[in-house]
Amino acid sequence: MMEGFVPWPAEFAERYRREGYWPGETLGGLPRLHSGRTALVDEHRSWTYAELDRDADRLAAGLRRLGIQAGDRVVVQLPNVGEFVVLCLACYRAGVVPVLALPGHRRTEIAYLCELSGAVAYVIPDRHGGFDFRELARDVAAVSPALQQVLVLGDPGEFTSLASVPAEPEPMPVPDPSGVAMLLLSGGTTGLPKLIPRTHDDYAYNVRASADLCAVNEDTCYLVVLPVSHNFAWGCPGVLGVLRVGGKVVLAGNGSPAEVFPLVARERVSMVALVPPLLVLWSDARRRFDVDLSSLRLLQVGGSKLAEPQARAALDAFGCTLQQVFGMAEGLLNFTRLDDPEEEVVTTQGRPLSPADEVRVVDQDGTGCGELLTRGPYTLRGYYRAEDHNRVAFTPDGYYRTGDLVRLTPAGNLVVEGRVKDQINRAGEKIAAVEIEGYLSEYPSIREAAVVGAADARLGERICAFVRVDGPAPSLTEIRSFLRSRGVAAFKAPDSIEVVNSWPLTSVGKIDKKALARILAERPQSDG
Ligand code: J2J
């Protein structure tokens, strides 16, 4: 068993097997069927199922030949390209454990992921979004002693070309289904993101049950506009759920209506996962584009709270089924059902996917609203190599403390009312406030910083940094370039800065972030 992984207690694992949640499926086995059909389309090319299967086998063999062994970790930072899918399948087949980073991550995040995971390889595109990832890889390699290989999609420079890796397929032992298949990134609340171990057993169930719930079948054409490495797009049911049953996956570089609507029409896309800001953009744009979107059957939306008027506007604009998804890379997924009454769909975030999901709402003040705790057949029992953090993130009986405040409707659906975790949810992107506070406090003229989320009509929340300064107050541009120079992902940069002379304090003398949030809330809302 992988060191640093917290398994389910034996009695739970036995029960999940006995009750059929964990039949012993592994993730690499998924697309071995359906051979002549188109499996995958990206901006540059397409793969049939047979081609995807063969490419995954060849790459799995090639990874082995490079000396990357079962159980080794590989940090994967690729954009929405077909090679991401091939690589993950190859890793699953070889028992190699991909660590799914986001394209926006930079030196600070990637070096940390390499160190924490002990990665032996790092996979990047040559350039993407105007950024040269080989420069990033040089910086990362310089501080990551365990890293032996950098594999590059495109022009490799001094590194190894990903295209040169595939080798003649060889028989390989099927990985243990109860072993770790991959490491996903958490939103993080206490600093840099934690790593979430997902086993073959648990994730295969996550994928299969989500696909069943969403009635995915071989006629499904699933469009990916969110980062494909995000749990929502990858496995809920996402790419893996669609490939499992012989549907088609279309990978798009971004979600802008001008680029994506014609693609929906051309490929006859039937299903897509969106975050609320994208759903709003799509709804607003719907009437401006004379494009045939009649193939759309299911719009999934999740990642941050969808406001009821926005849900109604989407129903008006598209006239297809809308589904709210309240999920987390840690595991638990809540979905509104395809046949739920419209009222539940527009006002709630759905209910747990599995009959084996155990949820508790810790209502301390009798208001009906409290922190959501959960455990189940696809919810982690501990973050990877995070013993201290695990003591606070889980109850002694193994429930994960989600940090989300929820209430239950009479119909049994959950409504997300807020959160207790010190995190900002910017357009579905999660950022730990303390992480940004740490960077800001290193800025020469900043003495102290407190970062809070401010309501934003477009993003849901934007990042507002309150600072106490010694000398001239930094501008937003200065802060952005400071963070860039520290190798921090651009999506973590504050959207606004507020200079204060003193802090509102709580009764125990800490900075009162609720009071700071109230200051922002009392102002007229920006429309972004
Ligand atoms: C309010 N808050 C939500 C929702 C997530 C599907 C969908 C989303 C994610 C995801 C995911 C929310 N309304 N509908 O992995 O498979 C907030 C909660 C939650 C956190 C998890 C999936 N949907 N959230 O967003 O790991 O605070 O996963 O705990 O990125 O996002 O974030 P993440």
Atom 31 of ligand 1, nearest CA residue: 303
- Position 10 pLDDT exceeds 60: yes
Helix (H) or strand (E) holding 260: helix 257-267
SS3 261: helix
* Residue 73 pLDDT: 98
Residue 491 is given by DSSP the state: G
Atom 20 of ligand 1, nearest CA residue: 328
CA angle 32, 173, 85 (to 5 degrees): 40
Average pLDDT estimate for 478-482: 96
pLDDT digit string, tens, across residues 20-35 = 999 999 999 866 667 7
- Position 39 pLDDT exceeds 70: yes
**CA 304–ligand 1 middle distance (angstroms):** 6
* Residue 31 pLDDT: 64
**CA 422–ligand 1 middle distance (angstroms):** 15
Atom of ligand 1 nearest to the CA of 232: 16
Atom 13 of ligand 1, nearest CA residue: 305
ipTM rounded to 2 decimals: 0.99
Q: Is the CB of 204 under 6 A from ligand 1?
A: no
* Residue 479 pLDDT: 96
SS3 498: strand
* Residue 189 pLDDT: 79
**CA 446–ligand 1 middle distance (angstroms):** 32
* Residue 30 pLDDT: 66
Question: Domain segments of the chain: what residues?
Answer: 423-521
> Which has more pLDDT, 285 or 193?
285
Give the mean pLDDT of the chain: 95
pLDDT digit string, tens, across residues 313-361 = 999 999 999 999 999 999 999 999 999 999 999 999 999 999 999 999 9
Q: Is the CB of 333 under 6 A from ligand 1?
A: yes
**CA 231–ligand 1 middle distance (angstroms):** 9
**CA 484–ligand 1 middle distance (angstroms):** 27
- Position 145 pLDDT exceeds 90: yes
- Position 528 pLDDT exceeds 50: no
- HEC sequence for 442-488: CCCCEEEEEEEEEEECCCEEEEEEEEEECCCCCCHHHHHHHHHHCCC
CATH 3.20.20.370 fits 423-521, yes or no: no
* Residue 77 pLDDT: 98
* Residue 29 pLDDT: 85
Which residues contact residue 461 at a Cβ distance below 8 angstroms, ignoring those fewer than 6 apart?
A: 304, 424, 425, 426, 453, 454, 455
